Each structure stands twice: as structure tokens, then as C-alpha cells.
Chain A
Amino acid sequence: MTNAAAPAAAPIVFENVRLGFEQTEVLRGINFSVTPRETAVLLGETGSGKTLILKLAAGLLRPDSGRVRVLGRDLGEMSERELLDFRRQIGFVFQEGALFDSLTVEENVAFRLREERVDESEIAVRVVEALEFVEMADAIAKLPGELSGGMRRRVSIARALVSRPSIVLYDSPTAGLDPVTSQRIITLILRLRDLQGVTALLATHRLQDAFALANFRFDPASQRVLREHEDGASGGPKTRFLVLRDGQVYFEGNDRQIRDSGDPYLAKFLE
């Protein structure tokens, strides 16, 4: 069911990646690639290795075997120092936001820019721009402890996009949120995909999020979220589903293919 052939220009490529801890091998030969401007949605049960795949793609973990290529670089061949520089091209949205709790929202979002010694006047502009994108500009002086779970995720997205990365990795961005807040987060991801053209890898166990990403798009002209083909236009196939099972990619395809597959495991998953 999987397609191991990786296009040469794919920003994210996993080739037979294996990873385990102690006596347990979690990933047993993962193969997939993500094409430019595409959102690949990693679906799987809890403990299936979704977060591990994201951490491998960011170079936060190294595979036991196999290759992880991101933006044309083999992460396994890079030193930790090279990886630190390299990661500045990638945005990572952690499950609970992972905001620095002793820093304000402004300091959190500006963290990477200050590390890169960007001019303070430019930092001020870019931080406000990123916070306005996630509709959190009013919270600029607040501490993460003063924010709700959904607000922390939005600040986390602002922090990930402030350096204008070409790849964004989302780790269960809607986990534990109410439906309205989840919808808001998905809209942000759609906007980031359709306005800025980022390539994304998104881990989730919420199938409705994956279908929302597949069936909707953000229209820059009307500044609205539209159903695909609603106005006769479409951005093309932008969302692909990757279902993990037993440490491997069990299914790879679009929303229609997963619905029509007739596979008993996927059917159970879709329920």
C-alpha cells in the first residue's frame, strides 16, 4: 500500500528508517516522502511512533538504521552542531506548545530571532506579524501560564512560523482541545499552507482534522476557508494520509483512497 519511490526534490524523505528503545523496536522500516507545499498527515494509534517520526524529521533523534533526508540533507551524517544550524529552517509545533514558561509570549516568539542576532526593530515587527497571524497580538506581554491550552498552541504556531520556515512539523496540534478551538488551529494550519506554501508533516489521531485539511483550503482573495472546488478552483492535491501500523506505513493515499480502500483495519480506524 505504500509508495517508497521518493521524488528527488521532496523536502522530507524517509528511507527504511528503523528506531527502537531498549527491547522495543517502534519504527520498523518507515518509507515515505513529502512533496513541496504538501501536508502529510501521520495517523496512527497512541504509541505508533508519530511523534518519533516528527523528531526524526527535525533531527532531534537519530535513526538506528535507514536515512532521513530533509531539504536535501542526510540528517544522519550531520553533527549536532550542524543540526542546530539546520533546524533553524524548520518550524516545530509541539503537542502542548512547549512554550518557555519563564518567558513572555513576546520573548517566546522572538526567541529564535534573538538567537540569530536579528535587529531588535525587525524582531518587533516580525513578532507582531506572527502573533497577528494567529490572532494573539493582544497577549504579547502575557506569560504562558496565563494562557489557555488553545492560546498556547497558537503562540507555539507563531513561534514556529516567525523565522519563515519552509517546513513545519506539527505534533498533535489539536490534542486535548475543544472542537471550536481545534477548528481554529486547523484554520491556522490551512492558512499557513495556502498563504505561505509551507511543506508540513502533521501527526494526529483525530481523523476529522486530517479530513478538514484535505477538504478545505484557505482562499487568499476572500480571506475565507472554502471547501475544495466550492468556487470552482482548487489548489490541487495538498493533503496526503499516512497511516502507521506495526512500525510501518500501512497506508499512503488521499482522503478518497482511504475512504474507498475497503481495508478492515482502515475501516475500523475511520469509525
Chain B
Amino acid sequence: MATTTPHETPPEVAPASRPLTTVVNDTIKNTLLSVQDYTELAWQSIVNLVSPPFYFRDLLDQVDVIGVGSLPIIILTGFFIGAIMVLETAAQFQRFGTTALTGNAVSLALIRELGPTITALMVAGRSASGIASELGSMVVTEQVDAMRAMGTDPGRKLVTPRMVACVAVLPLLTGVADFVGLIGGFLVAHVTLGLSAAEFWHHAIDAPGTNDLIHGLSKPLVFGFIIATVGCYKGLKVRGGTEGVGRATTSAVVIASVSILASGFFLDKLLMYLFPV
């Protein structure tokens, strides 16, 4: 049978009724093949960085689309996450008479976990779907084949700039989400607990150490890589016309979101070992 790359779209074959064992067998094989194809695409997106041609203009375009374009949603979600955190914990702090520690709690939770994870999930929802639908549409309209036919490697032109842009902007977006979250937390703490700005910000700034910052800003690098490569992979593997584009978009968001949460767990374990707090 044909040797296909992730960029090729063999024609649809009508499914025939098959025995259950064959279906299970094929499902396992297809899953393994998908993992292999994804790994190859992800690895190649890194390898492409060491040799020309480089597409700086495409990279800047993607930084604008993924980074600047995600700012409003990140600011909104960051603000409300910080605000909700204080709202939910205020009663407990009051009960134990430790309202002064509100700044510590919000700051640590945001910087170490909530900031990176919520930011990554929001960008996954916005950009993994955007990347998958854009590339998927290019596949079904033969634009990706046209690119290859003109001697341009879609991996270099489409995948690597998106990967680099995502990896570069996600820590910055996380920093913005953390900061805006603290502002949201402070406003709610000031109104509900009567905390002064000095009390809140003194604890919020003092609480996180260097290792906390390393935890909080290294995870977005991995999350950014996952969002871009999953989006690109699902987009470039689209089959079945516009309906296929819809399916790829949905599964890109689902896979990227689950991968972010799962990898977050293992990254936490690794970072706790490397940078104990």
C-alpha cells in the first residue's frame, strides 16, 4: 500500500462490514500510526529550526495572530480567575482569621498552576482550533499539495512558525494572566475582606520564590508546543472535505486540552523534583 506522509490525503474508501477483531486490530494500528505521524511532525518542527529556509515573516504573523489575538481573552479569564479564587476562599480565610494570607494564596495558585493551565486551555480553545481549521481547509482545497508541488516544505512554512510562535507567546500570555489575575484578586479582597493594597501586594509579591516562577513559566513552553503541533497535525491530516475540517477542529481542541492537563501533572512531578519548593 501507499507510503503516505502526514501531508498526503489518500482518497476515501467506503467502509465495508468487518469482523470485530479486525476492527480492534485496525484501531490499534491506526492509533499507533497516528502517534508515530504526530511524533514525526513534532520532531521535524524542531529539526527545521537548524537549517534554512526560515520563514520569519510567517513567524511574526503567527505571533500576532496567536499572541496579540489571544490577549483580550487571556486578560478577561485571568481577571475573573483571580477574582473567583478570592471570592471562594475569602470565607475560609475569615474563619481562621488569616485574611492577610489571601495575597499569598492567590499569588502561588496563579503563578504555579492556574495561570499556566488556564492560559494554555484558553489558547488551545482559540488557536489549536484555528490552526487545525486553517490548515485543514488548505488540505481540502489542495493548497498544501500546491505548496509541495512548488517546492515548498509545508512543515517549514506552516508548522515550524506556528510552533515557535506558540512556544514564544505562551509564557508571555501566562505572565499577563498571572498579573491580571492578581489585580482581580486584589479588587475582590479589597471589597469583601477590606484588605489594603499594601497588605495584599506585599504578600502576593513576597510569596512566590524563584522555583515557583520556574514552575509557572516553564510549563507554558511545553503547553505552547502541544497546542501548535496538535493543531497542525490534526489540520494536515484532514480527510473528508469540510466535514473533516470540522471534526479535525474539534479533536484538535479536545486532544490539546487533555494533553495540557495530563502533561501538566507529569511536568509538576518533574519540576518538583528538579526545583523543590
Closest to B11 in A: A21
**Beyond A20-B1, A98-B143, is A90–B149 a contact (Cβ under 8 Å)?**
yes
Q: For B151, give its contact among A55, A61, A64, A88 (CB under 8 Å).
A: A88
Task: Mark each residue of chain A from 41 to 84: 1 if its CB lies under 8 Å from any CB of chain B, else 0.
Answer: 00000010000000100101111100000000000000011001
Q: Using a CB-CB cutoff of 8 Å, which residues 66-121 of chain A contact chain B?
A: 80-81, 84-88, 90, 92, 94-96, 98-101, 111-112, 115-116
What residues of chain B lie closer than 8 Å to A84, measured between beta carbons? 148, 151-153
What residues of chain B lie closer than 8 Å to A99, measured between beta carbons? 143, 146
What residues of chain A lie closer than 8 Å to B146, measured between beta carbons? 92, 94, 98-100
What residues of chain B lie closer than 8 Å to A88, measured between beta carbons? 150-151
**Beyond A87-B149, A88-B151, A111-B150, is A21–B141 a contact (Cβ under 8 Å)?**
no
What residues of chain A lie closer than 8 Å to B138, measured between beta carbons? 100
State the CA gap A61–B148 with chains docked (Å). 11
Report whether A61 and B141 are in contact in the complex, using a CB–CB cutoff of 8 Å.
Answer: no
Report whether A96 and B13 are in contact in the complex, using a CB–CB cutoff of 8 Å.
Answer: no
B89 lies within 8 A of chain A by Cβ: no
Closest to A94 in B: B142
Closest to B7 in A: A60
Closest to A86 in B: B151
Report whether A101 and B1 are in contact in the complex, using a CB–CB cutoff of 8 Å.
Answer: no
Nearest-CB distance from B33 to chain A (Å)?
12
B268 lies within 8 A of chain A by Cβ: no
Report whether A62 and B3 are in contact in the complex, using a CB–CB cutoff of 8 Å.
Answer: yes
**Beyond A21-B10, A84-B153, A115-B150, is A55–B1 a contact (Cβ under 8 Å)?**
no
State the CA gap A90–B53 with chains docked (Å). 20
B37 lies within 8 A of chain A by Cβ: no
Report whether A98 and B13 are in contact in the complex, using a CB–CB cutoff of 8 Å.
Answer: no
State the CA gap A92–B149 with chains docked (Å). 7
Report whether A21 and B1 are in contact in the complex, using a CB–CB cutoff of 8 Å.
Answer: yes
User: How many residues belonging to A are interface residues under a CB distance threshold of 8 Å?
Assistant: 36
Task: Mark each residue of chain B from 1 to 28: 1 if its CB lies under 8 Å from any CB of chain A, else 0.
Answer: 1111100101101001000000000000
A22 lies within 8 A of chain B by Cβ: yes
What residues of chain B lie closer than 8 Å to A80, measured between beta carbons? 5, 153
A223 lies within 8 A of chain B by Cβ: no
**Beyond A21-B10, A22-B13, A23-B13, is A96–B152 a contact (Cβ under 8 Å)?**
no
Nearest-CB distance from A29 to chain B (Å)?
15
Closest to A108 in B: B146
Report whether A115 and B143 are in contact in the complex, using a CB–CB cutoff of 8 Å.
Answer: no
Report whether A21 and B13 are in contact in the complex, using a CB–CB cutoff of 8 Å.
Answer: yes
Other than A81-B153, A88-B151, A94-B146, give 10 A-B pairs with Cβ distance below 8 A.
A21-B11, A22-B1, A62-B3, A63-B2, A87-B150, A87-B151, A90-B149, A100-B138, A100-B143, A115-B151
Chain A contact residues, CB within 8 Å of chain B: 19-24, 26, 47, 55, 58, 60-64, 80-81, 84-88, 90, 92, 94-96, 98-101, 111-112, 115-116, 159
Chain B contact residues, CB within 8 Å of chain A: 1-5, 8, 10-11, 13, 16, 53, 138, 141-143, 145-153
A-B contact pairs, 24 of them (CB 8 A): A21-B2, A21-B11, A22-B1, A22-B10, A23-B16, A60-B148, A60-B149, A61-B2, A62-B3, A84-B152, A88-B150, A90-B149, A92-B149, A92-B150, A96-B141, A98-B145, A99-B146, A100-B138, A100-B147, A111-B150, A112-B151, A115-B53, A115-B152, A116-B151
